[in-house]
A = this chain, B = another copy of it.
């Protein structure tokens, strides 16, 4: 039976034996503690290098009561709900900050809520992570509140008005949604608008819908406005349009709560022979990649997911260090005006879209 590669680990003891000191001395020498003389310190550091010493993360975590790890938590239901690209941006933001601090990043999804503790609660309470970034939680997820109340360092991405003690980073979805709806109305003269909302058990879904309503009401167009609840999946954009039946031509503008659904709308109208943006203007939310590559390209609200994640993670580190700071931070968003609303000329183009800060 060959050795299956159990590698004997190098410990402080090994270095200590080789140099002829105690493990305590080695520990101190490697931490540049002044009480170890320069000569001994150098000898120890040399030996450590030669033996390829790497401290045991478990022993350190146990002794220091810090895991040296943060968790990025995504409730699974939300993995469906928020597509891949959103999560990717968040991961990129969180992991780059974690890297800068030399801290490991644990990615935790939440396979079964039912069976006992939510997975992420276990992660936190086992002290596998010293803090967590929590994203895209549903409004009614009770475990989130428990986690916040537990006092463990957590920063949430999104808006959670009902969790006033939570530290959050988000964008003003309502204002952004109002702004993009305004754009379809004032810049493109659209008057019969359809909103395909996100799931209404997520604050994002609610806020984007309310922003849409604000805008149509402001312009006195609420009589002709229509709202259909979607789930952020491309298919729910398809379904929403199909549900219009013959009334497809009754609308001349669509504001979808994300780009995936907007793309579903685009495809479905295309097949039905409705011209975009000729007959109908379309706008979405996100700009995580999809919006730029479709034909026509999608006008959308660019959500700075990576930046939100960076800010959240930086704030998390501050909290873990006991530093005070903001409790709610709001990042601004931009309207990216491409072809689907009528701003940019149709056809394959390499022109940059107009960008409006809101």
Contact = CB atoms under 8 A, between A and B. Distances in A.
A106 interface: yes
A56 B7 contact: no
A273 to B, nearest CB: 10
Contacts of A294: 293-295
A263 B107 contact: no
Given A84-B85, A271-B349, A348-B271, A99 B109 contact: yes
B152 A289 contact: no
A237 to B, nearest CB: 12
The 5 nearest A-B residue pairs measured at CB? A5-B151, A270-B348, A58-B61, A295-B295, A54-B125
A80 to B, nearest CB: 12
Given A4-B322, A111-B99, A290-B293, A104 B128 contact: yes
A176 to B, nearest CB: 23
What is the interface residue range for chain A against chain B? 35 or more
A20 interface: no
A346 to B, nearest CB: 11
Contact of A91 (B61, B107, B111, B347): B107
A122 interface: yes
15 contacts: A4-B319, A5-B151, A7-B151, A52-B125, A54-B126, A58-B67, A58-B127, A61-B61, A84-B85, A91-B107, A95-B107, A104-B108, A263-B293, A289-B290, A295-B295
A243 interface: no
Interface string A118-158: 01001101111000000000000000000000111100000
Interface in A163-205: none
A41 interface: no
B7 A152 contact: yes
Given A61-B58, A151-B5, A104 B84 contact: no
